[in-house]
Structure formats: C-alpha cells, structure tokens
Structure 1
Amino acid sequence: MGDPVVVVSLLGVAAAATAAVAVRDPVRQALVLSVLGLALAVLFTALQAPDVALSQLAVGTAVTPLLLLLTVRKVKRRARGEGRRE
C-alpha cells in the first residue's frame, strides 16, 4: 500500500487516541477504545502486518472494551448495593 494510506491511517489513530483521552465517561471511553482498536488494525494492515492486525482486531476492538464495559457495570451495581445499606 502507498504512503497516503499509511498517513491517513496514522491520522485516524491519532484522532481516535485523542478522543479516547478526552472522553470522561467510562462507558464512552470503552466504545472509543474499540474505535481506536479498529483504527490500529487498519494501520497494521496498511503496514502489511496482517497477523498483528487480526490480533488487534480481536483483542483491541472486541475483548478489551467488552471487559471494561462489564467491569464498569459491576462497579456501578456494587456502588448501588452499598448505597442501599446505609
């Protein structure tokens, strides 16, 4: 692939990473992290590393955001449970 594809991919990764840092809500952070994982997978594909791109697609786009969402849900549920006891 050519240099313009790599440059556009790098700009997409930079934009997604900036958005992931700027977002404050943990649920939205997980979703933006998923977009960042997708952008990284595209970048790795443009850099001709398909095995790394597939790993990033599986882990960075699906598994990690899912684990973060489940953790946030459990923490919120636990905080609600503690609030009732008082």
Structure 2
Amino acid sequence: MSTLMQGLGLVIALATIGAATLAILTRSTVTAVLAAGLVSLLASVLFVVLAAPDVAMTEAAIGSGLTTFLFFFVMGRIRRESEK
C-alpha cells in the first residue's frame, strides 16, 4: 500500500473516531443519529480505500442510508404518538 493510501486511511480513521465520539457525547438525538450515519459513511469510504468495493456499497446502502432513515422514521413516529 502506498504512503498516500496509508495517509488517506489514517485521515478517514481519525474522522471516524471523531464522528463516533460526537455521536456518543452529544445531547441532541438528531446530531447523534447524523453522526452515527457519518461513521458508517466514512467506514464505507475506508472500505473503498482498502479495495473492497462490494463491502463499501453494502455499508453505504444499509449502514449509512437505511439505518439513518429508519432512525429518523421512528423518531417521527414517536413524536406523533406523544402529541396525541
């Protein structure tokens, strides 16, 4: 692996750790869900850097896209139920 790829992998890994820390420490549910989605998105980019595009596509579609959508969908349902 070239030095450029190692550097890019390190930057992505540090950004992932930062987003995960934000997801854990924030008090806002919306921010936590978005940060968790960012962790998954950065993981999919890291998989591309590591030459695993099939895993990256699965992580991006399910981990980042579907999971984040489901969190927001459920949060909307909970808010509507509590307003009744």
The alignment's TM-score, normalised by the length of structure 1, stands at: 0.84
> Equivalents in 2 of 1:10, 1:36: separation in Å?
9
> Equivalents in 2 of 1:45, 1:19: separation in Å?
24
Count of residue correspondences: 81
Runs of 4+ in 1 over 2 A off after TM superposition: none
Name the Cα RMSD after superposition: 1.3
Q: Which residue of 1 aligns with 2:40?
A: 37
**CA deviation profile, 1:38-71 (whole Å, cap 9, x unmatched):** 1111111111111111111101221001000010
Q: Work out which of the two has the higher radius of gyration on C-alpha atoms and give 1 or 2.
A: 1
- Superposition deviation, residue 24 in structure 1: 2.0
> Residues 34 and 61 of structure 1 are in contact (CA less than 8 Å); yes or no, is this contact kept in structure 2?
yes
Map 1:41-52; keep pairs closer than 5 Å.
41-52=44-55
Residue 13 of structure 2 corresponds to residue 15 of structure 1: no
| Structure 2 gaps, min length 5 | none
| Structure 1 gaps, min length 5 | 82-86
Percent pairwise identity? 31
Q: Which has the higher contact order (CA 8 A, sep 6+)?
A: 1
The alignment's TM-score, normalised by the length of structure 2, stands at: 0.86
Residue 66 of structure 2 corresponds to residue 63 of structure 1: yes
Q: Which residue of 1 aligns with 2:27?
A: 24
